C-alpha cells in the first residue's frame, strides 16, 4: 500500500469567464458558464487545471522531469494499469517518401487498450476512486469506451458505456470482454453523448465524457509531456494531431503551455489539426471564426467523426496560440496514408490515427511547413481497433496447396 502523497496545488479555472474554483467545489463545467447547458452545442465553461507554476519552476528539472508536479491526482488512487510511456520513434522511410527532412511518430496505439484514450480514462477512474464513486459513465465513438472499460476492470469499477450502434466490432468486443455495461445507441455519437449525460443525472456515477470532465484534458496532456521528454527536453517544430472533439489537441497544447508557464520552454510547438473532410466543424471554425456543426460527419475515420465537437473552443485556441493551422483530408487520402504508414514505418494505425500521415502529405504538397523542420505525427490508435476499415480496398491472397511449386 502506497502512503498518501501530496500533489501540486491547483485550482480549476473556467476557460470562458476566468472564474477559479477549489478542487472539490466543481465536478464538470463552470457553474456559471455551464448553467443551462444542453447537448447540441460545443461545451461552455470547460475547466482547466492551473498550477503554481513559480513553485514548479523551482523544482522542475527537464533532464529528470517529475511529472507529479503537473498532476492533479494522488498516486494512491490510481488503478493498477500501465498507461503511457509509449515510444517516440524516427520514421526515415516515410520522410523519404514524403520529401520531408525529419519525421517522428509518437505511437500511442501501444497503450494497453490500443489508444491514447487510456490516458484520460486512467485519470477519471482514479478520480472515481478518490470520490468513492463506483460507476464511470461515458459516451464514445469507441476508443474512449474501450479504454474506460479496460481501466475500470483494473480499478474494480463499473463502466456504463453509450456508443453509436455502428461502432467498430473490435471496439465493442473489447468493451464486453472487460465486463462493461454497453448500451449501443441507434444514432450518432452526439446522441450517445446526450443520453449519457441524462443517465448520469438520473442514476448517478461519474461522467467521463470528453472535455465535460476536466480531467480528460489533464490525462491527455501527458502525451505532450512524453513528447517533450523523448525529444530531448524541448519542443519539436510542429505536432500533427487527429481531431474530432478537439480534446487531444487541447491536451497536447496544455502540456506545452504548462511547460512554458514553468519556464521549461520558451515557445510552443506549432499544432496542426487534421480533420476528416466531412467531420470538419473545428477546421471551419479555425478558418472562419464562425462555429457551425458538421453537416454530415460520416467518415471511415470513426474516432474523429463528430457533428458537434465538445471542445471546439479550446481546440481553436490551441491552434491559434501555437501559430499552427488546420486542414482536412478525404477518406481516400486517409486509407492511402494508413497503408503508407504501415508499409514504411511498421506502425499499423486505425484510420483516424492515420489521418495525420495524410495531413503531412497534404502539408508537404502545399509547402505549408518548412520540410526541413522536424515534425511529430501523433498516432492515437492501433489499426486492429477497426480491421473492417483497414480492409477497404485491400484483397487478401488466395490460399495455395502445400507445395513449393505453387508458391508465387
Neighbouring residues of 304: CB distance < 8 A, sequence distance ≥ 6: 141, 242, 243, 244, 275, 276, 279, 352, 355
**Predicted local distance difference test score (pLDDT) of residue 38:** 82
Neighbouring residues of 46: CB distance < 8 A, sequence distance ≥ 6: 14, 15, 16, 29, 30, 211, 214, 217, 311, 313, 314
- Closest Cα partner for 142 from 404, 396, 390, 382? 382
Helices (H), 103-246: 118-131, 143-155, 169-177, 189-203, 215-220, 222-230
pLDDT per residue as tens digits for the range 20-77: 999 999 999 999 999 988 888 999 999 999 999 999 999 999 888 899 999 999 999 9
- Closest Cα partner for 136 from 48, 191, 215? 215
Residue spans of the chain under pLDDT 70: 1-6
Q: List, in order of start, the domains of the chain with CATH numbers.
A: 88-112+216-390 (3.40.50.1100)
**DSSP string covering 242-267, please?**
E-SSSHHHHHHHHHHHHHHHTTS-SS
**Predicted local distance difference test score (pLDDT) of residue 4:** 53
**Predicted local distance difference test score (pLDDT) of residue 3:** 46
Asked if 168 and 149 touch (Cβ cutoff 8 Å), the reply is: no
pLDDT per residue as tens digits for the range 386-395: 988 888 878 8
Nine cell digits for residue 389: 476499415
**Predicted local distance difference test score (pLDDT) of residue 1:** 32
Asked if 309 and 293 touch (Cβ cutoff 8 Å), the reply is: no
Amino acid at each position: 500500500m502506497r502512503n498518501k502523497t501530496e500533489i501540486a496545488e491547483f485550482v480549476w479555472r473556467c476557460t470562458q469567464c476566468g472564474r477559479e474554483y477549489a478542487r472539490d467545489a466543481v465536478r464538470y463545467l463552470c457553474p456559471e458558464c455551464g448553467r443551462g447547458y444542453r447537448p447540441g452545442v460545443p461545451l461552455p465553461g470547460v475547466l482547466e487545471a492551473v498550477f503554481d507554476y513559480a513553485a514548479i519552476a523551482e523544482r522542475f528539472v527537464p533532464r529528470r522531469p517529475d511529472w507529479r508536479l503537473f498532476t492533479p491526482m494522488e498516486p494512491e488512487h490510481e488503478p493498477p494499469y500501465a498507461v503511457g510511456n509509449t515510444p517516440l520513434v524516427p520514421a526515415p522511410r516515410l520522410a523519404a517518401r514524403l520529401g520531408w527532412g525529419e519525421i517522428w511518430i509518437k505511437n500511442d496505439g501501444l497503450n494497453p487498450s490500443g489508444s491514447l484514450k487510456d490516458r484520460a480514462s486512467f485519470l477519471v477512474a482514479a478520480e472515481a476512486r478518490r470520490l468513492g464513486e463506483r460507476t464511470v459513465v461515458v459516451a464514445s465513438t469507441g476508443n474512449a469506451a474501450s479504454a474506460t472499460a479496460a481501466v475500470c476492470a483494473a480499478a474494480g469499477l463499473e463502466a456504463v458505456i453509450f456508443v453509436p450502434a455502428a461502432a467498430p466490432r473490435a471496439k465493442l468486443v473489447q468493451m464486453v470482454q472487460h465486463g462493461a455495461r454497453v448500451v449501443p445507441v441507434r444514432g450518432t455519437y452526439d446522441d450517445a453523448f446526450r443520453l449519457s449525460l441524462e443517465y448520469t443525472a438520473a442514476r448517478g456515477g461519474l461522467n467521463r465524457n470528453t472535455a465535460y470532465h476536466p480531467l480528460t484534458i489533464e490525462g491527455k496532456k501527458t502525451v505532450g509531456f512524453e513528447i517533450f521528454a523523448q525529444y530531448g527536453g524541448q519542443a519539436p517544430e510542429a505536432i500533427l494531431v487527429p481531431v474530432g472533439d478537439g480534446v487531444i489537441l487541447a491536451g497536447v497544447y496544455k502540456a506545452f503551455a504548462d511547460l512554458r508557464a514553468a519556464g521549461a520552454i520558451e515557445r510552443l510547438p506549432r499544432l496542426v489539426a487534421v480533420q476528416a473532410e466531412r467531420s470538419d466543424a473545428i477546421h471551419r471554425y479555425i478558418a472562419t471564426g464562425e462555429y457551425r456543426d458538421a453537416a454530415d460527419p460520416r467518415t471511415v475515420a470513426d474516432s474523429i467523426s463528430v457533428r458537434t465537437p465538445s471542445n471546439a473552443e479550446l481546440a481553436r485556441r490551441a491552434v491559434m496560440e501555437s501559430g499552427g493551422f488546420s486542414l482536412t483530408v478525404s477518406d481516400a487520402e486517409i486509407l492511402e496514408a494508413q497503408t503508407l504508414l504501415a508499409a514504411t514505418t511498421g506502425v499499423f494505425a486505425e484510420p483516424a490515427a492515420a489521418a495525420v500521415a495524410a495531413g503531412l502529405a497534404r502539408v508537404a504538397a502545399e509547402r505549408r511547413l518548412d520540410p526541413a523542420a522536424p515534425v511529430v505525427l501523433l498516432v492515437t490508435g492501433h489499426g486492429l481497433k477497426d480491421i473492417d476499415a483497414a480492409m477497404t480496398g485491400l484483397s487478401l491472397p488466395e490460399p495455395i496447396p502445400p507445395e513449393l511449386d505453387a508458391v508465387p
